[in-house]
């Protein structure tokens, strides 16, 4: 039984309202439905007060009903003055109903502590009834309101209903103003008009409210203007549900489509009366009504006397044609309905149905009850027309992040025994979900009509494979990582193998479209290399090609008949050795290493002479002739100045008979990086003393036509900051106007040593001076532009005996050279044809700029300007020309090339001096990740003497 507090409250209500309740066992006795209990009969959940003595206040004990869910005051009952207090004390937050109330509503009624408030009326509408104007601005807690109105809905009431989301209202007046609701923030509106003479203005309600969902309109047919063309135009209406009543609605003369709506605006249409007991529509022809534009169509007890039309039933979710005089055979199109459980044809005259319904007859036959001719067939559940039309023998490809495979057929049903499937066309097409994965020849069984038909016919096997990987681009992620962008990588790094530039790299992570691998992608203008990705056995190879021009060879090596190692030099080659195939005289050659500007290869022996070669770089082919010749024909015109590492300390030359002569340390200027070289020991007094000068002139930016775009002088003393690092190292620094920093270091070596450059070892002898020039990031005006570092070398006779000067230029194998000479003293400039640009060995060029700078050309003074051309770069560049000052007793140059003084002095044989200067230019970017690379511009200076 209920607890004592609630029993006490019921007793007081029984007395105060003059009821005759039997409270001996309140939840068991009927008590005229005045209250209801929960399932355990221990607490009151619903309380209904009917006509009574109408006390002005409720007993406070009513607050004892802690589980009260619905409180109803029926007609004839006054609203107690303390209704708000009682409900609030009770903590009531559910449903408060005032049924057929005939008095003026109190203002505080709208502040009851109820989430749902219902105030309803039945005809006739009470003349004294009215909705009060609200004076309090406190927001009501009511979220669902059902109310009847006469002529107006006070705007003041709309303003306090700030939490109202659902409004159902009945109109009894003829001049209702829809604008009264514009202050509401509704998502659901139920509208029912009970006055047949009031025309419903569809355009007005759509304009004033702008509802797009959950607008339910109960519209009497007399409220709709009779269409002249036989079509009811509802395109101005946005509603999810529409009920069209029966009163004099002119259905008999409508023409197709009968009703026009904006697609998706009205989901549910009900044709007929509000109540099933009333007579439905008669004599409407379904062929004149487009029922396929509505998701739900419920004609409800009408007399159509026609067959169901053919059409796209897949747009329809629910059809209810009970007792509507539907005749004949249902068309096969009805198998397209989205949900067969929401289809009902009870009590019609249907003679036969499509086989799709027979496949599920055990669960659908009740929805066709009352069709005598159909029931006479005594159908049993079978599926004779089940068929899969998709070719399941063909392997279907699926993305590695998963997807769907389309299965088509006939009578496939409305669902399958598989989680995550999608029905595209009921009974005809499904999307089968495939989980993420990788690999080929995977399988999955699909069970149709399960468990009704548990045979192999209804459980076909689907064979599929995942798409192979595809790589679209590579992006440098950090110093040591590279990102591959593409698709179908999967997400299991255990089945992923990546090879870049012939190097098998470690895969860090994968997520179907992005692979992160341990590989340093070098940033260069020209890139040509292969990328191979294998995902669970599926291979994808792509050629990463950003070449700015076709691969070109500039220097062909001359080959030794005995075989050996050769080097091709060129532009736009490849860093990927696996892409290179070389054939000499149809013999395949082993490729040792490659980059953008050279290819090192091992070639076979052959007879002297020319032979054919073919070089394949990916899809590019270069063919030509190459020469074999004796090794002793390979004579370097400067061989006598090359140091021999096998000589004892202090000697050099091919036979170790030439001796290095000590020179004093170069004269270092504290104002700018210029150098003056003098002998430490005077030569023969009869010989004209010579001094050598080396200096930086300027840095120039050149366009593609080699015209100067910008130039920055490096010869001014006031732009450099100087400091001495130690006894043999001196540093200069300047910032030119485009905010580019240039650092020059001069290093003096007392003893011989070796330094590496690219893949070669360069000897540096004792008494050597090296320049290191570092230039950080330069803002090129165009990627087609280049830089040119201009240096000047000069020989000068300190006295004025008879002298002659000359210039000579030439080339040999991997370098070019220029010689300026006064008598037997030569300044040799030697330029190697390759440099390290952005950490890659590339061909570089050098320019003689004597005419550009009007170099001095006198018998006792001669000058040379050299421009070292630096291609566009991202990070850094290393160049390595040699400048050597030497004394030579060999015959003089061609007299026609000499400039001589007008008088002559006597000459004695003198010892030779060789002063060598090695220059290496280093340009580095400010990016920290490249600071481990060699960044230097070097001068090597050494003094030599040839013995007679």
Tell me the pLDDT tens digit for each residue of 860-876: 888 989 898 888 887 77
Residues 607 and 689 in one domain: no
By DSSP bridging, strand 241-244 and strand 268-271 are parallel
Residues 686 and 702 in one domain: yes
Contact by Cβ (8 Å): 677, 915: yes
Residue 681 belongs to a domain with what CATH number?
Answer: 2.70.98
- Compute the distance between CA of residue 204 and CA of residue 237 in angstroms, rounded to an integer: 9
Enumerate the H helices of 367-445 as residue ranges: 372-375
**Averaged pLDDT score across all residues of the chain:** 77
Mark which of 438, 466, 494 sits at the end of a domain: 466
Residues 362 and 322 in one domain: yes
* Winning range, highest mean pLDDT, from 282-291, 466-475, 671-680: 466-475
Q: Quick check: is 177 in a domain?
A: no
Contact by Cβ (8 Å): 835, 842: yes
Q: Residue 534's pLDDT band (boundaries 50, 70, 90)?
A: very high
pLDDT (0 to 100) of residue 633 = 44
Residue 365, Cα to own-chain centre: how many angstroms?
53
The pair phi, psi for residue 581, each rounded to 5°, is -130, 130
Contact by Cβ (8 Å): 141, 165: no
- Compute the distance between CA of residue 162 and CA of residue 141 in angstroms, rounded to an integer: 8
The dihedral of CA 478, 481, 485, 489: what is its sign? Answer: negative
Q: What is the pTM of this model?
A: 0.52
Q: Quick check: is 223 in a domain?
A: no
**Residue 792, H or E segment:** strand 786-797
pLDDT (0 to 100) of residue 932 = 30
Residues 488 and 595 in one domain: no
pLDDT (0 to 100) of residue 102 = 66
Q: Quick check: is 802 in a domain?
A: yes
Question: Mean of the pLDDT values across residues 786-810?
Answer: 82
Residues 452 and 537 in one domain: no
Residues 848 and 728 in one domain: yes
120 vs 636, residue with greater confidence: 120
Q: Quick check: is 16 in a domain?
A: no
Average the pLDDT over each of 109-118, 726-735, 761-770 and give the range with the smallest value. Answer: 761-770
Average the pLDDT over each of 48-52, 224-228, 489-493 and give the range with the smallest value. Answer: 224-228
Residues 720 and 800 in one domain: yes
- State the virtual CA torsion across 579, 581, 582, 585 in degrees, nearest 10: -160
Mark which of 382, 405, 429 sits at the end of a domain: 382
Q: Quick check: is 13 in a domain?
A: no
- pLDDT surpasses 60 at 911: no
- Provide the domain limits for residue 353: 307-382
pLDDT (0 to 100) of residue 729 = 83
Looking up tokens 């064979």 gives 463
Contact by Cβ (8 Å): 868, 831: yes
Residues 462 and 485 in one domain: no
C-alpha distances in Å from residue 556, one per residue of 593, 627, 881:
16, 9, 21
Mark which of 545, 561, 581 sits at the end of a domain: 545
pLDDT (0 to 100) of residue 663 = 58
- Compute the distance between CA of residue 88 and CA of residue 82 in angstroms, rounded to an integer: 10
Q: Quick check: is 798 in a domain?
A: yes
Residues 422 and 560 in one domain: no
Q: Find the length of the chain.
A: 948
Question: Mean of the pLDDT values across residues 247-256?
Answer: 62
pLDDT digits (tens, 9 = 90+) for 197-225: 344 444 444 444 444 444 555 555 444 55
Residues 691 and 804 in one domain: yes
Number of domains in the chain: 5
Enumerate the H helices of 833-927 as residue ranges: none
Residues 515 and 378 in one domain: no
834 vs 460, residue with greater confidence: 460
User: Under DSSP, is residue 137 helix (H, G, I), strand (E, B) or coil?
Assistant: coil
pLDDT (0 to 100) of residue 407 = 96
**∠ CA 219-221-224, rounded to 5°:** 85
Residue 557 belongs to a domain with what CATH number?
Answer: 2.60.40.10
Residues 627 and 775 in one domain: no
Question: Mean of the pLDDT values across residues 441-454?
Answer: 92
- pLDDT surpasses 70 at 315: yes
In b/e form, how buried is each residue of 285-316, taking b as 16+ CB within 10 angstroms? bbebbbbbbbbbbbbbbbebebbbbebebbeb
C-alpha distances in Å from residue 315, one per residue of 82, 93, 181, 336, 429:
53, 40, 33, 8, 14
pLDDT (0 to 100) of residue 931 = 32
Q: Quick check: is 192 in a domain?
A: no
pLDDT (0 to 100) of residue 941 = 35
pLDDT digits (tens, 9 = 90+) for 554-613: 777 888 898 988 888 888 888 899 999 999 999 999 999 888 888 999 999 998 888 899
Q: Quick check: is 240 in a domain?
A: no
471 vs 522, residue with greater confidence: 471
Q: Residue 841's pLDDT band (boundaries 50, 70, 90)?
A: low
């Amino acid at each position: 039984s209920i607890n004592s507090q609630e029993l006490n409250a019921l007793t007081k209500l029984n007395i105060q309202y003059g009821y005759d309740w039997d409270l001996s066992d309140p939840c068991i006795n009927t008590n005229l439905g005045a209250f209801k209990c929960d399932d355990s009969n221990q607490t009151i959940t619903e309380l209904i007060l009917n006509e009574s003595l109408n006390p002005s206040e409720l007993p406070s004990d009513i607050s004892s009903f802690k589980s009260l869910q619905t409180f109803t005051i029926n007609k004839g009952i006054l609203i107690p003055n303390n209704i708000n207090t009682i409900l609030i004390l009770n903590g009531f937050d559910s449903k408060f109903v005032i049924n057929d109330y005939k008095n003026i509503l109190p203002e505080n009624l709208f502040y009851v502590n109820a989430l749902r408030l219902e105030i309803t009326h039945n005809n006739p509408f009470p003349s004294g009834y009215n909705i009060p104007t609200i004076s309090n601005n406190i927001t009501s807690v009511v979220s669902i309101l059902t109310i009847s109105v006469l002529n107006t809905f006070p705007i003041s009431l709309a303003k306090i209903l700030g939490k109202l989301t659902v409004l159902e209202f009945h109109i009894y007046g003829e001049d209702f103003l829809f604008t009264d609701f514009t202050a509401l923030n509704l998502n659901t509106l139920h509208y029912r008009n009970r006055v047949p003479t009031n025309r419903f203005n569809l355009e007005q309600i759509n304009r004033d409210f702008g509802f797009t969902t959950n607008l339910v309109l109960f519209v009497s047919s007399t409220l709709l203007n009779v269409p002249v063309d036989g079509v009811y135009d509802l395109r101005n209406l946005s509603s999810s549900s529409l009920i069209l009543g029966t009163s004099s609605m002119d259905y008999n003369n409508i023409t197709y489509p009968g009703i026009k709506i904006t697609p998706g605006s009205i989901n549910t249409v009900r044709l007929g009366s509000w109540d099933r007991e009333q007579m439905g529509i008669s004599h409407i022809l379904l062929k004149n009504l487009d029922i396929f534009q509505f998701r739900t169509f419920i004609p409800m007890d009408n007399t159509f006397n026609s067959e169901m039309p053919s059409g796209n039933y897949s747009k329809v979710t629910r059809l209810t044609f009970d007792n509507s005089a539907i005749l004949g055979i249902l068309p096969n199109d009805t198998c397209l309905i989205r949900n067969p459980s929401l289809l009902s044809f009870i009590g019609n005259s249907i003679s036969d149905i499509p086989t799709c319904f027979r496949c599920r007859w055990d669960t659908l036959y009740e929805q066709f009850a009352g069709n005598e001719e159909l029931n006479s067939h005594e159908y049993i559940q079978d599926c004779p027309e089940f068929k899969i039309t998709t070719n399941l023998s063909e392997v279907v490809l699926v993305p590695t992040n998963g997807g769907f495979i389309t299965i088509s057929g006939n009578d496939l049903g409305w669902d399958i025994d598989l989680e995550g499937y999608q029905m595209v066309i009921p009974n005809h097409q499904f999307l089968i979900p495939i989980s993420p994965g990788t690999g080929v020849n995977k399988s999955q069984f699909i069970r149709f009509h399960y468990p009704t038909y548990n045979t192999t016919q209804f459980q076909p096997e689907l064979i599929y494979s995942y798409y192979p990987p595809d790589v679209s681009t590579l992006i440098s992620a950090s110093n040591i990582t590279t990102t591959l962008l593409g698709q179908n990588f999967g997400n299991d790094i255990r089945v992923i193998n990546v090879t870049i530039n012939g190097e098998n790299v470690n895969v860090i992570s994968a997520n179907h479209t992005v692979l992160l691998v341990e590989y340093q992608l070098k940033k260069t203008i020209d890139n040509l290399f292969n990328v191979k990705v294998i995902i669970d056995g599926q291979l994808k190879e792509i050629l990463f090609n950003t070449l700015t021009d076709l691969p070109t060879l500039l220097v062909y090596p001359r080959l030794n008949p005995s075989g050996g190692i050769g080097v091709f030099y060129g532009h736009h080659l490849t860093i990927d050795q696996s892409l290179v195939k070389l054939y000499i005289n149809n013999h395949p050659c082993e490729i040792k290493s490659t980059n953008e500007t050279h290819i090192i290869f091992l070639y076979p022996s052959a007879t002297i002479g020319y032979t054919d070669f073919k070089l394949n770089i990916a899809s590019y082919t270069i063919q030509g002739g190459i020469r074999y010749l004796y090794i002793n024909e390979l004579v370097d015109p400067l061989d006598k100045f090359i140091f021999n590492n096998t000589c004892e300390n202090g000697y050099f030359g091919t036979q170790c008979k030439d001796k290095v002569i000590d020179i004093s340390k170069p004269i270092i200027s504290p104002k700018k990086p210029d150098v003056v070289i003098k002998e430490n020991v005077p030569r023969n007094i009869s010989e004209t003393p010579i001094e050598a000068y080396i200096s930086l002139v300027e840095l120039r930016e050149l366009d593609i036509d080699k015209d100067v775009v910008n130039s920055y002088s490096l010869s001014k003393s006031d732009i450099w900051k100087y400091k001495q690092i130690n006894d043999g190292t001196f540093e200069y620094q300047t910032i030119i106007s485009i905010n580019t920093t240039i650092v020059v270091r001069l290093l003096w070596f007392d003893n011989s040593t070796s330094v590496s450059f690219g893949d070669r070892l360069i000897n540096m002898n004792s008494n050597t001076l090296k320049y290191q020039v570092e230039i950080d990031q330069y803002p090129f005006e165009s990627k087609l532009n280049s830089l040119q570092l201009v240096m000047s070398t000069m020989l000068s006779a300190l006295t004025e005996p008879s002298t002659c000067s000359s210039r000579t230029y030439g080339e040999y194998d991997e370098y070019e050279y220029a010689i300026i000479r006064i008598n037997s003293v030569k300044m040799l400039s030697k330029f190697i044809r390759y440099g390290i640009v952005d950490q890659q060995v590339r061909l570089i060029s050098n320019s003689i700029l004597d005419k550009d700078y009007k170099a001095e050309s006198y018998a006792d003074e001669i000058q040379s300007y050299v421009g070292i051309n630096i291609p566009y770069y991202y990070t850094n560049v290393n160049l390595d020309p040699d400048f050597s000052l030497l004394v030579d007793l060999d015959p003089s140059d061609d007299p026609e090339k000499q400039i001589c003084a007008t008088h002559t002095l006597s000459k004695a044989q003198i010892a030779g001096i060789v002063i060598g200067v090695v220059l290496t230019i280093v340009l580095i970017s400010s990016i920290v990740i490249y600071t481990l690379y060699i960044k230097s511009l070097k001068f090597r200076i050494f003094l030599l003497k040839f013995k007679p």
